[in-house]
Amino acid sequence: MNKLILLFIVLASSIVTFAQQRTEPVWKSLPIAKPVGHEDENIKCYLSSLEDSKWKQPPFVYNQDVAVRPVKSKVIVVVFNPVLHSKGNTKLIDYLKAHDPKKYSKILADVVNRASNGYVNYDIVDYIETDEIPVKTDGFQYTPDSLLKAREASSYRKPDRSNYRKIFEDNKLIEKCKKENISEIWLWGAGGMGFDELAMYIPNRYARFAPTENPWFYRPYEIPPEIGHTVWVMGFNYEVGVGNMIHSYNHRVESIIALVFAHGIWDKKLAGKDPFNTFTVLNMDFPDRPSQVGNTHVPPNGKFGYDYTPKGSVMTYADAWPTHYPDMKDCRAREFDSSEYGNTQAGYQEWFMFHIPSRPGYTKWGYNNWWVYIANTDENLPFMKSEDYHVQDFKPAGF
């Protein structure tokens, strides 16, 4: 028994030692690329077509540990919950009879963990509740009463978007992100507070990922670049349900995966040509062809945007993506209708997330585990011993 214990200690020590011998991710060795094209003043990114740029896809180096070892991603939750003095000093969340951001944040962390097969493990390390209302990009700031009036009139002052740098500064998030390696900030507020469903700052983004003419694929806003690593900022509304929360996260999935696998282009004409534009194929666009998974707004049998209770069924290859990607050539389509996810937005958003590929291995496009890009964007996990994987061809089902 003593020999077994000693052997265990030796093995554990060697694993820890190896894990501490971290190598820098490949992207850090890329020359700094200046953005080209024109700047979108609101989104704060540069827009350019692939044809007009000199961008070349950097070499991909597969790392088995990055592909399969779980990520522990630190999150700070910031809740904007002002006191309404004119309403008996009631907090806004209580006044609106809104949802509990702490509870909902835990729900999201759990859903992502299960959908990623345990790869993404969110660790909510701080929960900040502030009485303040976010400052807009031009310096304007609502008072609690003026915010209520704007909400009652359904008329908000322009520009409506909040200043992200100011949010970081006011809540002392810059130093926390740098010192504690915080990967994500989850903002919670009410309608009129002016933050987007998602935002992200990615260091040397213009070298790492393709340019895009779609400003929604990359939304750095004023996220402080001096943090030095990728930071995702999710914007959630505590007045709406779980479905909206997961909906926002799924737009994040679409944004980063479109940059990685589709070179910043979302076009149904590219169906079967790259993983992203194939993953999002819908029968409504190709009546003679089964759907694949679909997108955040439209399920496989949907007929239009936000059609979460569509009637009728279609054939789909959706099951091939989490189980067989990238070699799906021999997979069969099967019948699908919306009763499968309960005919609710929340059900569909979770269903969509659970069909994101998460297997080890790689193709010329990159990791087969898409969660690397979604949540471990900088590939900063401690490394364990890797196994060699052969490059696989992308063989979409139904093409």
pLDDT at 248: 98
Evaluate the CA torsion angle 334, 364, 359, 29 in order and state its sign.
Answer: negative
pTM listed for this prediction: 0.91
Asked if residue 23 belongs to a domain, the reply is no
Residue partners of 253: CB distance under 8 A and separation at least 6: 296, 353, 356, 370, 374
Condensed to tens digits (0 to 9), the pLDDT of residues 349-393 reads 999 999 999 999 999 999 999 999 999 999 984 333 344 344 567
Asked if residue 354 belongs to a domain, the reply is no
Q: Chain-centre distance of CA 200, in angstroms?
A: 9
CB neighbour class for 147 (10 Å; exposed up to 12, middle 13-18, buried from 19)? buried
pLDDT at 394: 67
Asked if residue 14 belongs to a domain, the reply is no
Confidence of residue 52 (pLDDT cuts 50, 70, 90): confident
CB neighbour class for 189 (10 Å; exposed up to 12, middle 13-18, buried from 19)? buried
- Cis omega (within 30 of 0) for bond into 35: no
Asked if residue 24 belongs to a domain, the reply is no
Condensed to tens digits (0 to 9), the pLDDT of residues 133-152 reads 999 999 999 999 999 999 99
CA–CA gap between residue 212 and residue 286 (Å, rounded): 25
Asked if residue 110 belongs to a domain, the reply is yes
DSSP one-letter string for 349-378: HHHHHTTS-EEEEEETTEEEETHHHHH-TT
Tell me which residue range forms the domain holding 152. 33-262
Asked if residue 152 belongs to a domain, the reply is yes
Asked if residue 357 belongs to a domain, the reply is no
Count of domains for the chain? 1
